[in-house]
Amino acid sequence: MGIVTVQDLLNFFPRALESTESASSAMQLVLGEKNTLEGTLQSFTKERTRAGKYIGKGVMVLDDGTTVEVVWFQIPYSLKKVVLPKRLFLIGKVERNYGKLKIINPEVHLDSNVHVGGLRPVYPESAPINSKWLREKISGMLTLTQEFKDPLPPEILKAENLMDLPSAIKKIHFPKSTEEWFEAKRRLGFQEIFEIQVRVLQAKFYREKVHQNPYQVGFDPAIIKQDLAKLPFTLTNHQKKALLDVLEDFKKDRPMHRLLQGDVGSGKTIVAFLAALHMVRAGFQTAILAPTEILAQQHYAGLLEFVKRVMPEQIESESTLIATEATEQCALLTGSVTAKNKKIIKDKLRQGQLPFLVGTHAILTEDTVFKNLALAVVDEQHRFGVRQRALLAENNAHVLAMTATPIPRSLALTIYGDQDLSIIGEKPAGRKEIITRIVADSKTETMCYRFIEDQIEKGRQIFWVCPLVDESDSIEAKNVLAEFVRINEQLFPQRRVEYLHGKMKPKEKDAIMQRFKAHEFDILVSTSVIEVGVDIPNSTVMVIENSERFGLAQLHQFRGRIGRNDYQSYCFLMVGDKKDKSKARLQAMERSNDGFYLSEIDLKLRGSGEVYGLKQSGLPDLKCADFTNVEAMQSAREWATKILEKDLTLESYPRLKRRIESETVYF
């Protein structure tokens, strides 16, 4: 659970509060809900079931004479030696059964303690560690909070009306009221956002102060217009604005560090290609870094097509490309490139003879040396570590990071505050909106399968996404291996079906995706590994099993794998639990194809932790910060700026300096 020290334990905050105000009369009971009963246990007996197990049965009498039947399927240890009648507390759900009040498997407390009598914390649990165990341990250690040194400067505490750190930690665990709890959360959440802001802004200010731009390049609007005229489509206004942002950065006296955020299919890559072309024309080298081999190959093919249009005189024949994986201008460097060709490519890079390089992590090896790398484009930046991304910027190259994860602007400014931000919020003209439908009953399911058969008959291909790889005892959800068998043998026995999941080796995954792109089969059953990047223009249908288990932002990423052609595309959201209340949440997917709108909804409904977990998009899973509170986030950013403008090294803020230097950097 990440708890190693006493300090870790005290910093393990509850996820919710639960009222245990005791009810001692029938009038105070809420049927069908969890209640805390205070009364006298009059009787208690052990009975043996037909299966040979023992259960406990008892009768509790409340202060107004009301009797409540009690049943335990596992007899509590505390009742084994209890002397009756005994006044005690029971916590559990009270139901009315054949006119009698009944409580099954309640918690038992022989006296008032940290578990009963008021508000109690409910913690994230990991068996066998539960909330009861955590409450008992943490309550006995709260005096140690006085040793916590507050990293927030006094002027911030006073201006923002925040409680001190020891008080906040005490009250987040054991508050006297819900108001106290929310005030403690506000205090601790502000600190989380503030510390992130100090880190990212300090990095930004240092870079601007220390690093000079050795690749300062102006631009001629007339030449840019000529390049745009050679494209087979017209850039959107947002694409033009993003390109202008980048070109203006090239002119400044510090290296660019910009995040280009755009929804799936919004056209981020062409902006990166145009920026790369500008640097190459100035006599410098560019590198485009992709997280997977298939995405690198996709970018390479796109770059070749682009360079052929705008610099046709520079490209050799197609046969040469296949033979050497490099032209005079472009090269592809991935793990599967032969050792001989890697050496050719790296020699050309070192001599400055190769201006465009596309590749995977293979670019980041020590023997990959550029003569004058001026621009590094990092696609899906969260899939690379901080140090890996930094390698490309070591010689003060401009860095353009790209992400298709739709993050609300306020959140992006906080998490990626060390980078300038450009957003492409509109899709290229002519793209058809993807039609999305929820499938929550057997009749609609049958119609969906018939529709898919018709699409395959027309020569289209299908993505079929499942939450799990294998069958799980603890999670009721469709898994890839079982679904592959069902689809292949029962639903579409006449069609070609393959499967893909994250436990496969990278080469296996890439081979399957290449075969799917070549239309060697019709249906690909997969886990979320297809979420980012892969472009299969012929796929028009996305089926997502147990869609209620995914956030809207992730569902939208899946949906972005289709709709990349002139055909009408369709997304079917299968609901595993037909009674699931999240169907109302999924209706937002039917209404909108706007990833930013959906991410805002997801943020409000599910919270940042669930929507933007580390595995999903590289964002930190914060404990108390409220990312929907834009005002607090802006205030934290302003304070971080003030503090750093006063003292960039933080020498006059030693406690804050220790926090910033010792804490793990998330991004």
What was the pLDDT predicted at 663? 53
Cα–Cα distance between 265 and 533 in angstroms, integer?
A: 10
What was the pLDDT predicted at 88? 94
When pLDDT is averaged across residues 99-114 and rounded to a whole number, the result is 92
- Determine the residue type at 76: P
Contact at 8 Å (CB) between 188 and 624?
yes
pLDDT tens, residue by residue, 439-453 = 988 899 999 999 999
Helix (H, G, I), strand (E, B) or coil at 94: strand
What was the pLDDT predicted at 473? 44
Order the strands of the 461-465 sheet from edge to edge: 435-439, 570-574, 539-544, 461-465, 523-526, 497-500
97 vs 244, higher pLDDT: 244
**Tokens (6 digits) for 576:** 């595993």
pLDDT tens, residue by residue, 55-87 = 999 999 999 999 999 999 988 888 888 899 999
When pLDDT is averaged across residues 122-151 and rounded to a whole number, the result is 93
Q: Considering the entire predicted model, what is its pTM?
A: 0.68
Instruction: Give ranges for CATH 2.40.50.140 in the chain.
Output: 21-117
How many residues are given for the chain?
667
What was the pLDDT predicted at 318? 37
Is the pLDDT assigned to residue 565 strictly greater than 80?
A: no
Instruction: Give ranges for CATH 3.40.50.300 in the chain.
Output: 221-251+267-403, 435-592
Is the pLDDT assigned to residue 349 strictly greater than 60?
A: yes
What was the pLDDT predicted at 611? 41
Is the pLDDT assigned to residue 532 strictly greater than 70?
A: no
When pLDDT is averaged across residues 315-327 and rounded to a whole number, the result is 40
- Lowest average pLDDT, out of 435-439, 621-625, 663-667, goes to 663-667
Is the pLDDT assigned to residue 118 strictly greater than 80?
A: yes
Cα–Cα distance between 311 and 581 in angstroms, integer?
A: 55
Helix (H) or strand (E) holding 445: helix 442-457
Q: Which CATH architecture fits 21-117?
A: Beta Barrel (2.40)
142 vs 560, higher pLDDT: 142
354 vs 263, higher pLDDT: 354
What was the pLDDT predicted at 520? 95
Is the pLDDT assigned to residue 665 strictly greater than 50?
A: no
- Lowest average pLDDT, out of 255-264, 305-314, 544-553, goes to 305-314
What was the pLDDT predicted at 609? 45
Name, of 30-39, 310-319, 548-557, the range with top average pLDDT.
30-39
When pLDDT is averaged across residues 328-340 and rounded to a whole number, the result is 88
Order the strands of the 398-403 sheet from edge to edge: 330-333, 356-359, 285-289, 373-379, 398-403, 257-262, 420-424
Is the pLDDT assigned to residue 324 strictly greater than 70?
A: no
Contact at 8 Å (CB) between 132 and 115?
yes
User: Band of the pLDDT at 387, cuts 50, 70, 90?
Assistant: low
**Tokens (6 digits) for 89:** 């507390």
When pLDDT is averaged across residues 502-529 and rounded to a whole number, the result is 86
Helix (H, G, I), strand (E, B) or coil at 39: strand
% pLDDT > 90, the chain: 51
Cα–Cα distance between 421 and 444 in angstroms, integer?
A: 43
Helix %, strand %, coil % for the chain, to 5?
45, 20, 40
Cα–Cα distance between 169 and 9 in angstroms, integer?
A: 11
CATH number of 221-251+267-403: 3.40.50.300
Is the pLDDT assigned to residue 593 strictly greater than 70?
A: yes
Is the pLDDT assigned to residue 619 strictly greater than 80?
A: no
- Lowest average pLDDT, out of 308-312, 373-377, 513-517, goes to 308-312
pLDDT tens, residue by residue, 177-189 = 999 999 999 999 9
What was the pLDDT predicted at 508? 85
Cα–Cα distance between 295 and 302 in angstroms, integer?
A: 10
Is the pLDDT assigned to residue 423 strictly greater than 90?
A: no
Is the pLDDT assigned to residue 557 strictly greater than 60?
A: yes
Strand 107-109 versus strand 420-424 pairing type: unpaired
Is the pLDDT assigned to residue 533 strictly greater than 80?
A: no
User: Band of the pLDDT at 44, cuts 50, 70, 90?
Assistant: very high
When pLDDT is averaged across residues 218-238 and rounded to a whole number, the result is 92
653 vs 432, higher pLDDT: 653
What was the pLDDT predicted at 621? 58
pLDDT tens, residue by residue, 459-468 = 999 999 988 7
Longest Cα–Cα distance of the chain, Å, equals 97
What was the pLDDT predicted at 614? 31
% pLDDT > 70, the chain: 86
Cα–Cα distance between 409 and 395 in angstroms, integer?
A: 30
When pLDDT is averaged across residues 640-665 and rounded to a whole number, the result is 86
What was the pLDDT predicted at 316? 47
When pLDDT is averaged across residues 97-112 and rounded to a whole number, the result is 92
What was the pLDDT predicted at 576? 80
Helix (H) or strand (E) holding 6: helix 6-10
What was the pLDDT predicted at 409? 65
Is the pLDDT assigned to residue 195 strictly greater than 60?
A: yes
Backbone angles phi, psi at 71, to 5 degrees: -130, 130
Mean pLDDT of all residues in the chain? 85
* Residue 90 β-bridge partners: 37, 108
Helix (H, G, I), strand (E, B) or coil at 326: strand
Helix (H) or strand (E) holding 653: none
CATH topology (fold) of 435-592 = Rossmann fold (3.40.50)
* Residue 47 β-bridge partners: 55
Whether the CA torsion 537, 541, 544, 550 is positive or negative: it is: positive
Is the pLDDT assigned to residue 491 strictly greater than 90?
A: yes
User: Band of the pLDDT at 476, cuts 50, 70, 90?
Assistant: very low
What was the pLDDT predicted at 365? 83
Is the pLDDT assigned to residue 410 strictly greater than 70?
A: no
